[in-house]
C-alpha cells in the first residue's frame, strides 16, 4: 500500500460512516414524501442534521444540506452577494482573502465578470494569514459599498488558520456579513459556528471521513440568501433538490466521530507532522517550511515545503513512483503548471513557488508512512534538481 499523505484532498471513508451509508441504501423513501417510507427518510435526515449541527456549534435549523463544499461556497457567496445587492444596489463590493480556495476565488471572480461585483483582495503576511489592519481600512473607507466578506477558516495549501472571529467582529461593526470556507477545518480543529461570528460556513463530508458528494452550508437564522438553484423548495427554500439520505447520514456519523476524537488525533498528527518536517529538513538542504510555525496557528496534519531548483509536479511524480502520495501547491490550468496563488500572495517569487509540496496527514497515517516519505524525499529531490539543471542548460545553449 502506498503512503497516502494527501488527506487534504480527500480522506478515507470511516468504517462507521460506510456502514451507515450501506444501511440507508437498503431503504427506499424520499425525505419530502408524506407516506411512511418518506417520513422514515425525513427522520434520518433530521437526526443527521442535529448531529451535524452539534459537531460545528450551530443551531439545527441553521444547517442547509448540500452536495459538498463547492456548492456550499457558491450558495454562501453568490446568495449573500445577490441578497445584499438587491436590498441596496450600492453594495457591490466583495472583500476576500487573497489565499482563498478556488471554490471561493473562482466564484468571486465570476461575480466580478458577470454580475458587476467589485473585488478587494485582502493581503496576507508571510505565513498566509490575512492582514486585519488592511481589512479594517477597507471597511472604514467602503462600508456602505460592501456586500460581504469571505475568509476561509484554514488554508488548504499551507494549513494556516485565519482569524475568523476577529475579522467577523470588524465586519459586523461595519454592517457586513461574513462567509467562511471551513472545508479544511471541520473535523480537524475546533469549529464553533456560533462563537466564530460567521454568518455562513461551508463544510464537506469527504474531508473528515464522510462520503464524497455531501456537505452543508451553515446559515445564520434570519439571514437573507438568494437561491442558486430552484425546484422543490427544500432546505429552507434556498437549496432545492431531493436529499441524498444515505450520504447525509454518513456525513453526520463521520462528523460526530471526527469531533469526538479531535483532541487526541490532533496531538498524534502534530507529533507525526513534526517528525516528517524534521526528516525532510535533515534530508535536503535548502528546504523551507511554509505556513505558521506555531502549532496553534495551523492545521495539525499539514506540512508544506518548498524545495529549491525543483518543479513541484516533478517531485510529486517521483515520490509517487516510490510509493508516497502527496500534492503540489500548483494549480494546473489548460495543461500549464502555474505557481500557487497562495504562495505568491505570501510573497514568494514564482520560481520558489513552483517547487512546492504539500504533505497532509490524517486518521489513517502511521509512523511508517512518515518514514517512507522521508526515505523517498532525498532521492526524488536529487533527480528532480538534476532534471531542472539539465533543462536550464538546454535553454541556455
Give residue-wise pLDDT tens across range 290-329. Answer: 999 999 999 999 999 999 999 899 999 999 999 999 998 6
pLDDT one-digit tens code per residue, 11-58: 999 999 999 999 999 999 999 999 999 999 999 999 999 999 999 999
Contact 174, 120 (CB under 8 A): no
- What distance in Å separates the CA atoms of residue 280 and residue 393, rounded to the nearest whole number? 28
Q: How far is CA 116 from the centre of its chain?
A: 26
For 257, residues 6+ apart whose C-beta sits below 8 A from its C-beta are: 14, 16, 17, 209
Instruction: Please state which of the ranges 90-94, 234-238, 330-334 shows the lowest mean pLDDT.
Output: 330-334
Backbone angles phi, psi at 390, to 5 degrees: -65, -40
The CATH topology of domain 15-259 is 3.40.640
pLDDT at 134 over 60: yes
Per-residue pLDDT averaged across 345-351, rounded? Answer: 95
Res. 335: pLDDT tops 80: no
Its pTM stands at 0.95
Q: What is the CATH number of domain 262-396?
A: 3.90.1150.10
CB atoms within 10 A of CB 37: 14
pLDDT one-digit tens code per residue, 187-221: 999 999 999 999 999 999 999 999 999 999 999 99
pLDDT digits (tens, 9 = 90+) for 91-101: 999 999 999 99
CA 102 to mean position of chain CA atoms: 9
Asked whether the beta carbons of 323 and 385 are under 8 A apart, the reply is: no
Q: What is the set of active-site residues?
A: 332
Rounding to the nearest 10 degrees, give the CA dihedral for residues 113, 114, 120, 125. -60
With both helix axes pointing from N to C terminus, report the angle between 15-25 and 245-260 in degrees, rounded to the nearest 10: 160
Residue (of 164, 135, 134, 142) closest to 152 by Cα position: 164
Q: What is the Cα–Cα distance from 87 to 238, expressed in whole angstroms?
A: 17
CA 150, CA 300: separation in Å to the nearest integer?
23
Look at the block and give the residue holding cell 445577490: 82
Please give the share of the chain, as a percent, with pLDDT higher than 90.
Answer: 91
Count the Cβ atoms, other than its own, within 10 Å of residue 202.
32
Q: Which helix (H) or strand (E) holds 359?
A: strand 356-360
Question: How would residue 77 be classed by pLDDT, with cut points 50, 70 and 90?
Answer: very high
CA-CA distance, 70 to 81, in Å (whole number)?
16
Q: Residues 128, 158: contact at Cβ < 8 Å? A: yes
For residues 236-249, average pLDDT: 96
45 burial (CB, 10 Å; 0-12 / 13-18 / 19+) is: buried
Gap between the Cα atoms of 161 and 157, Å rounded = 11
- Domain spans in the chain, listed from the N-terminal domain onward: 15-259, 262-396
> What's residue 334's pLDDT?
38
Mean pLDDT score, 253-270 = 98
Amino acid at each position: 500500500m502506498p503512503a497516502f499523505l494527501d488527506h487534504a484532498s480527500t480522506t478515507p471513508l470511516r468504517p462507521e460512516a460506510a456502514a451507515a451509508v450501506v444501511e440507508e441504501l437498503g431503504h427506499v423513501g424520499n425525505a419530502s414524501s408524506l407516506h411512511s417510507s418518506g417520513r422514515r427518510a425525513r427522520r434520518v435526515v433530521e437526526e443527521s442534521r442535529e448531529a451535524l449541527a452539534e459537531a460545528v456549534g450551530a443551531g439545527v435549523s441553521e444547517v442547509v444540506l448540500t452536495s459538498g463544499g463547492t456548492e456550499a461556497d457558491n450558495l454562501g457567496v453568490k446568495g449573500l452577494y445577490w441578497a445584499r445587492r438587491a436590498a441596496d444596489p450600492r453594495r457591490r463590493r466583495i472583500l476576500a482573502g487573497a489565499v482563498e480556495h478556488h471554490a471561493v476565488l473562482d466564484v468571486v471572480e465570476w461575480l466580478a465578470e458577470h454580475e458587476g461585483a467589485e473585488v478587494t483582495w485582502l493581503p496576507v503576511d508571510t505565513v498566509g494569514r490575512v492582514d486585519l489592519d488592511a481589512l479594517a481600512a477597507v471597511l472604514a473607507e467602503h462600508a456602505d459599498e460592501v456586500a460581504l466578506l469571505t475568509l476561509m477558516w484554514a488554508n488548504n495549501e499551507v494549513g494556516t488558520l485565519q482569524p475568523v472571529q476577529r475579522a467577523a467582529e470588524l465586519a459586523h461593526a461595519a454592517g457586513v456579513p461574513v462567509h467562511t470556507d471551513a472545508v479544511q477545518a471541520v473535523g480537524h480543529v475546533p469549529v464553533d459556528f456560533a462563537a466564530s461570528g460567521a454568518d455562513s460556513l461551508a463544510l464537506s463530508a469527504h474531508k473528515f471521513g464522510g462520503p464524497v458528494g455531501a456537505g452543508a452550508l451553515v446559515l445564520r437564522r434570519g439571514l437573507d440568501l438568494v437561491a442558486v438553484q430552484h425546484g422543490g423548495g427544500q432546505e429552507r427554500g434556498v437549496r432545492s433538490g431531493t436529499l441524498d439520505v444515505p450520504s447525509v447520514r454518513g456525513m453526520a456519523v463521520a462528523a460526530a466521530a471526527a469531533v469526538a476524537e479531535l483532541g487526541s488525533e490532533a496531538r498524534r498528527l502534530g507529533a507525526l507532522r513534526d517528525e516528517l518536517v524534521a526528516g525532510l529538513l535533515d534530508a535536503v538542504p535548502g528546504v523551507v517550511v511554509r505556513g505558521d510555525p506555531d502549532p496553534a496557528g495551523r492545521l495539525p496534519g499539514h506540512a508544506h515545503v518548498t524545495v529549491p531548483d525543483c518543479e513541484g509536479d516533478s517531485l510529486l511524480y517521483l515520490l509517487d513512483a516510490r510509493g508516497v502520495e502527496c500534492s503540489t501547491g500548483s494549480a494546473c490550468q489548460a495543461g500549464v503548471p502555474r505557481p500557487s496563488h497562495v504562495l505568491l500572495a505570501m510573497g514568494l517569487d514564482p520560481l520558489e513557488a513552483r517547487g512546492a509540496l504539500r504533505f497532509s496527514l490524517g486518521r489513517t497515517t502511521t509512523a511508517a508512512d512518515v518514514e517512507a516519505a522521508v526515505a523517498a524525499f532525498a532521492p526524488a529531490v536529487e533527480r528532480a534538481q538534476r532534471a531542472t539543471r539539465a533543462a536550464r542548460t538546454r535553454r541556455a545553449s
